[in-house]
A and B are shown apart, each in its own frame.
Chain A
Amino acid sequence: MGSNFQLYWAGFRVTIFADPALNLAGNENMQPQQEHEFDFDEEEVIVGLSESLYRFAIMTGVVGLALVGLGAGAIAMGSYGGGLAGPSIVVLGLVAIVGSLLFLRPRGDFDEVLVTRGSDISKLMQGVDALSVAHGTFRLVLVVFVLVRLGSFLLGRIG
């Protein structure tokens, strides 16, 4: 429901009824596309993805915590050649924990698709955006893993 405006001009009161369906550009044929409402089967798929995302986020967080523990141990014991190995593992663990938190956000957006009406596509797109950001961070973690694995592989070959 839009708000109405009242103007006083030359002693007359003029009320302007603001209708959200009215196209102010003057082109009455250009109606905005009505949002799609997901049916039961489609919502089942969205719930499934939302639950998977939650478990995946938790598991990524646990990996992060384990890495932080391993890094702290490496620093304390001077393992893995000492130097930057321990702190690097701790940083990687922290990035994994932050990444896991980012995966919880799209889950919330996908859950909202189920509980709201008339804005399913908007909520879905919010979820898609949040998923994009989460994958961007996850990609960073994977790049570090690949570099570490490549380094250890090359060292193994040279050794």
Chain B
Amino acid sequence: MLDYEFSDADNLRFSKLRRNLLHIACLFIILGVLQVAAAFMVSDVTARWIALAAGILLLTLGWLFMRPLDNFRRIVATKGQDIRQVIIAMKDLRAAYLAAEVIFGIMVAGLVVELMRLYSGVGLG
């Protein structure tokens, strides 16, 4: 049985999603690079390691959002394997969202700590 083939209009929609994902991946990588660079400017050793870990997490997130891009490109570029490529892309996207969830969880924890510091009068300001 021949695999389902997406129409040209569908391919355009996949291309748009791919472009948006590429931008997000690049932005996460830029954030990661900035975070890693900033980590070396921190004098406190513990804070430096935390900043470095956050930078590595952001770089990983950028890489995870890059993974489905190739499959989305193949949906448009190849014939006869569209459904397989969609499913692989979805699996990769799922992993990226899971990682983003963990990183956002850490971010929320950081924001809560900062909120507590702020309201107790020892905020960074």
Chain A residues near B50 (CB-CB < 8 A): none
A150 vs B27: C-alpha distance when bound (angstroms): 12
Q: For the side of the interface on B, what is the size category?
A: 35 or more
A135 lies within 8 A of B24 (CB): yes
Interface residues of A, dominant DSSP = helix
Is the CB of B74 closer than 8 A to any CB of chain A? no
Q: Work out how many contacts link A and B, with CB atoms closer than 8 A.
A: 129
A67 lies within 8 A of B111 (CB): yes
Interface string of A18-37 (1 = CB under 8 A from B): 00000000000000010110
B118 lies within 8 A of A52 (CB): no
User: Which of A56, A80, A157 has the most CB atoms of chain B within a 10 A radius of its CB?
Assistant: A56
Q: For the side of the interface on A, what is the size category?
A: 35 or more
Chain A residues near B38 (CB-CB < 8 A): 149, 152-153, 156
Spell out B's residues near A (CB within 8 Å). 4-7, 10, 13-14, 16-17, 20-21, 23-24, 27-28, 30-31, 34-35, 37-38, 41, 83, 86-87, 90-91, 93-94, 97-98, 100-101, 104-105, 107-108, 111-112, 114-115, 118-119, 121, 123-125
